[in-house]
A and B are shown apart, each in its own frame.
Chain A
Amino acid sequence: AQKITQTQPGMFVQEKEAVTLDCTYDTSDPSYGLFWYKQPSSGEMIFLIYQGSYDQQNATEGRYSLNFQKARKSANLVISASQLGDSAMYFCAMRVNNNDMRFGAGTRLTVKP
């Protein structure tokens, strides 16, 4: 079975600090893609970063980086230098072998001024 788990319902971070949002996944298929999305209160899902199962290096996109630990089946999102506009829901998602995308339950991040 394919499963995505986000164990942090809510996280707080001080502005300008770094924060790590946890994500673990479960699949027996060697080919999969991992995604992180941000969902502000407006509802739109904004793509942040992608990591393929065969990628050797951790993905980075600006202030976002993905800490990919394949053996531990974790794909944590690291946001550096947090900004007030980073306050939102964050979803981890996985697609296995061209099948449908599965989402975690999400983590609500609040950035404090």
Chain B
Amino acid sequence: DAGVTQSPTHLIKTRGQQVTLRCSPKSGHDTVSWYQQALGQGPQFIFQYYEEEERQRGNFPDRFSGHQFPNYSSELNVNALLLGDSALYLCASSRGPTSTDTQYFGPGTRLTVL
């Protein structure tokens, strides 16, 4: 049973560029959440997708957008990259969007913005 997968593993971009990160949820999961983890900090919630819609959003600008596909996989897009966007981006999936649904994380994508 495959867990949560993310691609790519590492990415290097320059300021102003755009990036797309991808996530495939664990088998049987229909909800995907995205987090940004800066070095030395805990993850910060970006948004959550359920039934192909953005259900919740954290305190992130509109430069951060996403999408969920019918097979429940998801993409995170970041436009006009800033140096401060350098971080580990984590995707988590769960069976549903409620508080009691445990989120399982992927290995993350490490984004470096130069």
Residues of chain A having any CB pair with chain B under 8 Å: 31-33, 35, 37, 42-47, 50, 52, 91, 93, 95-106
Contacts and interface: CB of A to CB of B under 8 A. Distances in A.
A17 to B, nearest CB: 26
Interface range for B: 20 to 34
B97 interface: yes
A54 to B, nearest CB: 9
Contacts of B97: 98
Contacts of A91: 42-43
B103 A101 contact: yes
A43 B100 contact: no
Given A100-B56, A101-B33, A47 B105 contact: yes
Nearest to A100: B45
Identify whether the interface residues of B are mostly helix, strand, loop, or mixed: loop
A91 B98 CA distance: 20
Q: Among A45, A52, A103, which residue has the most Cβ atoms of chain B within 10 A?
A: A45
Interface string B81-114: 0000000101010000111101111111010000
Contacts of A98: 97-99
A57 B59 CA distance: 34
Contact of A44 (B33, B44, B45, B105): B105
A33 B103 CA distance: 11
B105 A37 contact: yes
Interface string B55-67: 0101000000000
Given A37-B105, A100-B58, A101-B103, A43 B98 contact: no
Given A91-B42, A105-B41, A33 B105 contact: no
